[in-house]
Every structure is written in C-alpha cells, then in structure tokens.
Amino acid sequence: MKFLSSRRRHKAVKPLLLVAALFLMGGLYTVAVPEQQSSADSGTSTQVEEGRALFQVGCSSCHGLNGEGTSEGPTLVGVGAASVDWQVETGRMPMAQQAEQAPKRPPVYNREEIDAMAAYVASLGPGPDIPTEAQYSPEGLSAEEIARGGELFRTNCSACHNFAGAGGALPDGKYAPSLQGVEPKHIWEALRIGPQQMPVFGPETITDEDVRTIVAYLQSLEQEPAGGLTLGNLGPVSEGLWAWIVGMGGLALFAVWIASKGARSK
Ligand code: HEC
Ligand code: HEC
C-alpha cells in the first residue's frame, strides 16, 4: 500500500476506485434485476408455496389439486392472477354452493392470502396480471376524456349493464351486475378477464387509457345527485331529448329550406 502514500498516485486512485465501484454496481445490477423481474411476474417461490397450500384447502375440491379443473369447476391454468384477485376479492370465490353464477359477497380471504393464491395460479400458466394503480386510476382526466369514456361505455357495455350501469338480466337466469360502487381495479380486471358471458376486452380493443376514462365516467354517474331535476342528471334520457330537439330542429330547418327553394324555382 506504499504507492498510495505518494500524492500523485493518490489523485489517480480516486477515479480508479470510482470506475471499479461502477463496474461492481453494474455487475450486481445484472445479477439482481432478472431475479426481481421474475418475482414480479410470478411471485416469490415462498408466496407460490403459500398460495398452493391455501388453494389445496379452499379451492381444490372444485378446481382440482393442481388447478386442472373438475366437473365442479373450470381449470384455472392460464386465467391469470387478475382473475383470482377479482373472483376472491369480490367474494365470488370460493363458491359457497353450486350455482349458475357466484354472487358478490364480503371476501373470505385477506390481501396477503389473495396475493399468494394469485401468484400460485399465475405460476400455472400466463394470464393477465393484477394491475397497478396507474393502469386504472381515473385521476387527472379532462371532461372530454370522461365523455369519451361514456361513449365507450354506451358502445361496449350498456347492452348488458344498462345505460346508467345499473345492471340487467341475461338469459338463463344470469345477470350483468350493477356497476355502482365497483372498485376501479375490479373494472380493469373484469374487462381483461371477461367473467361468465362478459366478453374479454383486451388492451388491443380497450387500452389502459380507455379503461381509465370508463372508470371516470362510471364515477361521474355516481357523483350526480340522485333525483335531481336538471337536464344533466337525467343522463341517457336527456341525451335522447337533445337528440330529439336537434333532430326535430334539423328537420324543421330542412323543411324551411325546401320550401324556400320551391318558392324560388317558381
Ligand atoms: C364449490 C366449488 C368451487 C369452489 C370451492 C371454488 N370455486 Fe372457483 N369456480 C367454481 C365454478 C363453478 C366457476 C365457474 C363459474 C364462474 O365463473 O362464476 C369458478 C370460477 C373460478 C375462477 C374463474 C375461472 C375463469 O375461467 O375465469 C377463478 C379464478 C376461481 N374460480 C378461483 C377460485 C379460488 C381461488 C377458489 C378458492 C379460494 C375457488 N375458486 C373455489 C367453483 C368453485
Ligand atoms: C354480454 C354482456 C356483457 C357485456 C357486453 C359487458 N359485460 Fe360486464 N359483466 C357481464 C356479466 C355477466 C358479469 C358478471 C360475471 C360474473 O358474475 O362472474 C359482468 C361483470 C362486470 C364487472 C364486475 C362487477 C363486480 O361486481 O365486480 C364489471 C366491472 C363489468 N362487468 C364492466 C363491464 C364494462 C366496463 C363493459 C364494457 C367495456 C362490460 N362490462 C361489458 C356481462 C357483460
């Protein structure tokens, strides 16, 4: 270490140490990052193990010991973490008794247990992941964007869920539930997994940005005071009314125009 004591050497050592430290960090980074990514995708291995244990106690009677499905319940291979999160957090699963459609209930499992079972099911095959808040949060959208959410909703969703999101009956005693008070995360998840008769709306049809506008639109419906008498609160009715006024107004103008043309050609 004697060379370090000379002043000139000492000056050169600092940048060298810096370079060495950078190399070391780079090395650590390449070692550490792939590990982080795989744990984000499919959960840590202990989490998967915990999830498997919970699953085998609470779910395997219908979904099979390895999620392969039985006559009592479908296979869960490839349904993804988002499906487990939605089904279990809305209390639909574990299904209490055989029924056409599992009703919404208070959840039976806590957050940690749901994450573990979701990680286990995700480890069986690739499927939609649980979204981050940035993917569904309606924060910071403009009035125009929310209006676009309304358009998307009327085009893609209102046939089953009704114009005001109040829900509606479907054939064979099934139903599309009311969307009032549904958490934004569950809206994202329902779109991506398409439970029961609901079609899957993938990111190529409805982007995350579009989902955010739909969430914001549904929240704007809820924020309107119930029973208000202003035009705006009547939602689809007032839109129908406007269409009528504009339509009739247009027809009247057209009639006037025809009449004036007719008068001129004489
Ligand atoms: C009594 C039987 C039963 C039990 C117990 C049960 N399920 Fe289900 N599960 C079903 C049936 C039937 C369906 C299909 C009907 C539906 O989607 O509503 C289903 C659907 C699902 C789906 C959606 C699958 C898809 O194709 O999208 C998931 C995810 C799921 N169950 C997870 C679980 C988990 C996790 C548990 C345990 C906590 C559980 N289930 C317990 C019967 C059961
Ligand atoms: C063909 C009918 C149909 C269409 C179209 C449809 N849904 Fe659904 N939706 C359903 C059914 C049925 C369920 C309930 C599934 C179940 O009980 O497992 C559902 C469930 C949901 C849920 C879950 C509600 C809860 O209680 O957690 C949300 C959110 C949702 N739909 C939103 C939408 C949106 C937004 C659209 C349009 C982009 C849409 N749906 C289009 C039939 C439909």
Q: What's 99's domain CATH number?
A: 1.10.760.10
| Last residue within a domain, chosen from 106, 124, 142 | 124
Residue 216 CB less than 6 A away from ligand 2: no
The tokens for 218 are 């549904």
User: In this structure, are 116 and 151 located in the same domain?
Assistant: no
Residue 190 CB less than 6 A away from ligand 2: yes
Tell me whether residue 109 is in a domain: yes
Distance CA 156, CA 201 (A): 9
Tell me whether residue 57 is in a domain: yes
Tell me whether residue 16 is in a domain: yes
User: In this structure, are 139 and 218 located in the same domain?
Assistant: yes
Tell me whether residue 206 is in a domain: yes
pLDDT of residue 22: 54
User: In this structure, are 151 and 209 located in the same domain?
Assistant: yes
Low-confidence spans in the chain with pLDDT less than 50: 1-2, 4-6, 31, 33-40, 227-235, 266
Task: Identify which ligand lies nearest to the alpha carbon of 77.
Answer: 1
Tell me whether residue 55 is in a domain: yes
pLDDT of residue 210: 98
- Domains: count for the chain: 3
Which burial class, exposed, middle or buried, applies to 153 when counting CB atoms under 10 A from its CB (0-12, 13-18, 19+)? buried
Atom 22, ligand 2: residue with shortest CA distance: 190
Binding residues for heme c: 59, 62-63, 157, 160-161
Contacts of 222 (CB under 8 A, 6+ apart): 180, 181
pLDDT of residue 249: 76
User: In this structure, are 81 and 138 located in the same domain?
Assistant: no
Task: Identify which ligand lies nearest to the alpha carbon of 165.
Answer: 2
Note whether 124 and 185 are within 8 A (CB). no
What residues make up the domain containing 172? 133-223
User: In this structure, are 25 and 49 located in the same domain?
Assistant: no
